[in-house]
Structure 1
């Protein structure tokens, strides 16, 4: 589990939550493992909360308040720490992406968020929220573009993306937007050595990832996790056996995909088709 580390409890709400949890746990004379056992989670999970490396959850905070006799203290801090620019169901995954050493992504119909252009992200957001105000749409677009700055970090993770060929052909936002998006996708793969893109062709037929989009995040100091997403919800998968199943499915999809070089040719071809229609 993460060793205790000194945090500035006033750095942000998550750090304050972690500092308070550690204070209450130590006052109760419990180790991280002991508290985890009583809360039906692992000591590692408690350690991640205390280190400010995981966004606290209301259900576990309620259990911890009961165990530590702290009223609703941790629950109130949890609500404060859960404030996020991204959708609540994606907030944990967004935070984990920043810590990951590698990110493996499979998408069946869309370009992954970290590689989207503003126009493409805008068209997607508008399709999901057709009656939303412009400020709402633009806020989502800005947040997505801010997340993409992760790839500019000196410690950027290796991003290995597998996109089904269908994702190159779906005209999100129209021909001009798609031509720009696909050109951007190719440029990112060519200019960033830590970004690898593959296309899974229609000729591959059925495959284990056919029914889901998934993101596999691996870390140097923690077990791998998987994030799966649908239209209006997502799920973080941490159970080791399920994570391994997703990892196997991702590896099979990657093996069935075109080589990175052939994939760039297919992306460029699709971009040209949209530009010249």
Structure 2
């Protein structure tokens, strides 16, 4: 996949750059251990480059790898362009305004979310972040994260709203499937008016944006594979970065897992939950009923 580096984001350039570097290393039939030994690097440095985890990529590192891999001039020039983007532009979540309130695990997730082709989300306790209204986000952070100052809450609300832009981006908007536990519809966050507004927002998004699918797991479904908690499963464009990753979070921490065993476990769980849940039309009818009941 070739990117338009004039408009590409740093996150997408890092992901594509990492994918290309790994491909070129394998084509050269070189092990990671050989490369880091040759360049006197730590193993983690090469891993971060190949997975797109570094905030910036040094062009000197690209030159060094190009020599070892025997990369042709045209490919080398493109890789250098990718690296230049990571040095000269900044993803919105890396700005001084937001960076202080974003934990490292969540920061890693934001970079991956911004480059994903699709996201499957099971939400057990509250409305999924990409479908939340400003008022709902504000109350969640005021209630669940009481250590936050008023200014920090404002920043977290802005972060959540910025994230939602991926659903409406003009080029390849994120394909988003959200499965919501029925308890989320019933739990009154911030009062009846706020909940009606929030649930109506979910319906509007699902009915107007073709890249969004919403389903609800009813109480009558009984025990299911999502009862251990919420999770998000991200998949990426062909040829860009890892095939899939899982994102998990709790009150104290957030982390990304690329382990094939973990990804497979959560992919199977999502498929099982989706099979239990009614389709979108019936699920939206459940949400509309909940609006009236609030």
TM-score, reference length from structure 2: 0.70
1:94 corresponds to which residue?
110
The answer to whether the Cα contact below 8 Å between 1:158 and 1:195 also exists between their aligned partners in 2 is yes
Query: Could you tell which deviates more after superposition, 119-128 or 39-48?
Result: 39-48
Structure with bigger RCO (C-alpha 8 Å, 6+ apart) = 2
8 Å CA contact 2:11–2:115 kept in 1: the answer is no
1:25 corresponds in structure 2 to: none
In the alignment, which of 196, 206, 213 is matched to residue 223 of structure 2? 206
Aligned twin of 2:194: 177
Unaligned residue ranges in structure 2 (runs of 5+): 22-29, 62-86
Distance 1:48-1:117 versus aligned 2 partners, 3 A rule: same
1:250 matched residue in structure 2: 270
Partners of 2:47 and 2:150 in 1: CA distance: 42
Residues 178/55 of structure 1: CA separation in 2 closer, same or farther (3 Å cut): farther
For the aligned residues, what is the CA RMSD? 3.6
User: Who is 2:153 aligned against?
Assistant: 137
Matched residue of 1:99: which SS? coil
Distance apart, 1:131 and its partner CA: 4.6
TM-score, length of structure 1 as denominator length: 0.74
- The whole-number CA distance in structure 1 between the counterparts of 2:236 and 2:45 is 18
What count of residue pairs does the alignment treat as equivalent? 238
Q: Unaligned stretches of 5+ in structure 1? A: 23-30, 58-63, 65-76
In 2, the alpha carbon distance for the partners of 1:165 and 1:213 equals 13
Q: Residue by residue, what CA displacement relative to the aligned partner does 1:126-158 show, whole Å, maximum 9, x if unpaired?
A: 012325332111111111111111111022110
CA distance in 1, matches of 2:219, 2:185: 11
SS of the equivalent of 1:235 reads strand
Indicate whether 1:260 and 2:263 are aligned.
no
Distance 1:210 1:138 in 2: 31
Paired residue secondary structure (1:241): helix
| SS of alignment partner, residue 215 of structure 1 | strand
